[in-house]
Amino acid sequence: MASRSSQKMRTALGLALAGGLAISLAGCGSSAPTSAKSTATGPYVLGVDLPLTGPYDSLGVPELNSINLAVQQINAAGGVNGRKLKVISLDNGTNPTTAGQQFKQLVQDHPIGLIGDASTGSTMVAIPIATQAKIPLISLASDAEIVQPVAQRQWIFKVPAVDTTVMQVMINYFKAHGISRVAFAYGNFPYGTGGLADFQKYAVPQGIQVVGSVPVDMTATDATPALTALKNFSPAPQAVVVWDVPPSADTIAKGYASLGFKWPIFFSDGASNDVFLTLAGNAVNGDFVASTKIFVASSLPNSDPQKSIIEKYVKSYDQAYASTSAGPANMFGAFGYDAVYMFKDAIAAAGKGATPASVRGALEHLNYDGVTGVMHLTPQDHSGLDPTSEVLLQVQNQKWTLVPGFTGANE
């Protein structure tokens, strides 16, 4: 996985990308101009905007790697409708304002589709831009508001599970173990604040009381002062839920361990990343994380439709990138990989005359088995992820292990 020690290299990459377009030419032959369009005979262009530098770089870098990997595979197999795919990618530096400017830049190249962002905040900035341009956008962020209400999100789709599916994984565990009171720690940015709001709306009707909440700044290096408040909550929690991403999720994990609290702690899938294990070290042993099945494919039965798909992706990704600063395959990279294949299937369904509008229509009827999960998109559901695709993991001896019996299905 990507580590903070790779930040210097990524910053250099980000500076190179921020000055202009990074054209991914996987399988497209020789160099191309910095402006490209999805024309009647040229390649289908996908516009991509991701955080390749900044706090979310551990998400954006493997996502772009995986996007390029998928494009290479598709082009090597002959492309789509006899035409290649081409990616134009930009680094927004984990800055929603920059992301908005860059999505406006990307739509000028008339792509067949857009991919991004890794964060809810930057995706929300992109939504009106994609909608006005009438170009379908597949987001790699999790919040339900990205695709809801569908009447206002006609051009917007997403790969990750909606946050309520992630919450349901935990809630199912709580119900099975007699846990009815939780404390909620969260990153003080849209992903975390949105998680708190949704958890309060979603968990309380299922008998789970939030006894108190603790915000943690994304740049905090020590969360113990904030987490100390947990011991003063009344009634006391029986478990702690954390809605955050590395590195601040690791700051919470280390602070929580140092305070010696004994309540079980559950992290959202924002922490489903080997960076989480690397940065927090032994502090995360015993912690629970809601996740896709990517880290536990070997534990899946052969009858699971995702097993072979996950294994193929992991093998291909690791051959190409495991030795780089991005590290081995992870859940976030799989979001980017699946987004490309979703566009590939939708473009194929739309036929040789595919346009952004016809691709949008095809996405609304897409049935897709991916690394992230099994998806059945409809005009009423622009996510369509089967909730059983989300599972519960526990960290044991610095390794991911499956906790059988708990998925995102509301039981």
pLDDT, one tens digit per residue, over 320-370 is: 999 888 889 999 999 999 999 999 999 999 999 999 999 999 999 999 999
| The pLDDT value given to residue 17 | 34
Instruction: Report the SS3 class of residue 224.
Output: helix
| The pLDDT value given to residue 333 | 96
* The token pair that represents 282 in the structure block: 């032994």
| The pLDDT value given to residue 10 | 36
Dihedral angle of Cα 221, 251, 15, 192, to the nearest 10 degrees? -110
Instruction: Let me know: does 127 contact 136? Beta carbons within 8 Å.
Output: no
Cα 296 to Cα 304: distance, rounded to the nearest angstrom: 12
Do 4-161+307-380 and 163-291+390-407 fold alike per CATH?
A: yes
Cα 232 to Cα 212: distance, rounded to the nearest angstrom: 9
Q: CB neighbours (10 Å) of residue 410?
A: 12
| The pLDDT value given to residue 396 | 96
Residues ≥6 apart with Cβ < 8 Å to 246: 58, 270, 271, 273, 275, 276, 279
Provide the pLDDT confidence category of residue 273 given band limits of 50, 70 and 90: confident
Instruction: Report the SS3 class of residue 109.
Output: coil
pLDDT single digits (tens) 283-330: 999 999 999 999 999 999 999 999 999 999 999 999 999 988 888 999
* The token pair that represents 40 in the structure block: 């009647």
Instruction: Let me know: does 273 contact 331? Beta carbons within 8 Å.
Output: yes
Q: Rounded mean pLDDT of the chain?
A: 90
CATH of range 4-161+307-380; options 3.30.420.40, 3.40.50.2300, 3.40.50.2000, 3.40.920.10: 3.40.50.2300
Mean pLDDT to the nearest integer, 373-382: 97
Instruction: Let me know: does 246 contact 221? Beta carbons within 8 Å.
Output: no
Using a 10 angstrom Cβ sphere, with 0-12 exposed, 13-18 middle and 19 or more buried, the burial of residue 110 is middle
Q: Which residue is associated with the tokens 């976030």?
A: 332
Mean pLDDT to the nearest integer, 68-89: 98
Tell me 331's DSSP state.
H
Domain ranges of the chain: 4-161+307-380, 163-291+390-407
- Of residues 86, 87, 99, 88, the one with CA closest to residue 53: 99
Q: Does 3.40.50.2300 match the CATH number of domain 163-291+390-407?
A: yes
| The pLDDT value given to residue 234 | 96
Instruction: Let me know: does 331 contact 272? Beta carbons within 8 Å.
Output: yes
Instruction: Let me know: does 51 contact 92? Beta carbons within 8 Å.
Output: yes
Instruction: Let me know: does 278 contact 3? Beta carbons within 8 Å.
Output: yes
Mean pLDDT to the nearest integer, 133-143: 95
> What pTM value is reported for the model?
0.86
| The pLDDT value given to residue 108 | 96
